[in-house]
Amino acid sequence: MTTITLVQGDITRQSADAIVNAANSSLLGGGGVDGAIHRRGGPAILEECRKLRASSYGKGLPTGQAVATTAGDLDARWVIHTVGPVWSASDDRSELLASCYRRSLEIADDLGARTVAFPAISTGIYGWPMDDGARIAVETVRGTVTAVEEVRFVLFDAQAYEAFAAQVG
């Protein structure tokens, strides 16, 4: 059974087998969590992302999908990059958000990862409401069969931590 833990802090400072990156589809870095992971992880992550883009994802990684690279200088073995959906009040994209968590756990299983640190995917610049994002994240992790022993949600601020704590119970 997978244990869910919550931490308020900086995901780039976590020690885990895999750290999940809320990436943009280009895989070439950006703002928020994506930029922080690329900055702290160093050039090895970007180099592998460029190779992935050149070989398989020339038009970008599709929303809801995930792919792994080295973790570079992070205290992890891998970074799992996943592209979250932009929130829309008129178009239910919650299955795409759930897919980010599910696909990331599937890749973690393939890699043999036992600990995985997730950010609150899509709840930053992509505008997903925090309470709903937390609900989808926790329900998806609980509903996914995985060999991952610990899923750690690393939340940047108190509001995110409280939203996830309400879902974890």
Say if CB 19 and CB 76 are below 8 A apart: yes
The active-site residue out of 17, 34, 109, 131 is 34
Cα–Cα distance measured from residue 106 to residue 102, given in angstroms and rounded to the nearest whole number: 6
Cα–Cα distance measured from residue 64 to residue 105, given in angstroms and rounded to the nearest whole number: 12
For the question of residue 34 being annotated catalytic, the response is yes
- CA-based end-to-end distance of the chain: 16
Say if CB 108 and CB 80 are below 8 A apart: yes
Say if CB 155 and CB 8 are below 8 A apart: yes
* Catalytic positions, written as ranges: 34
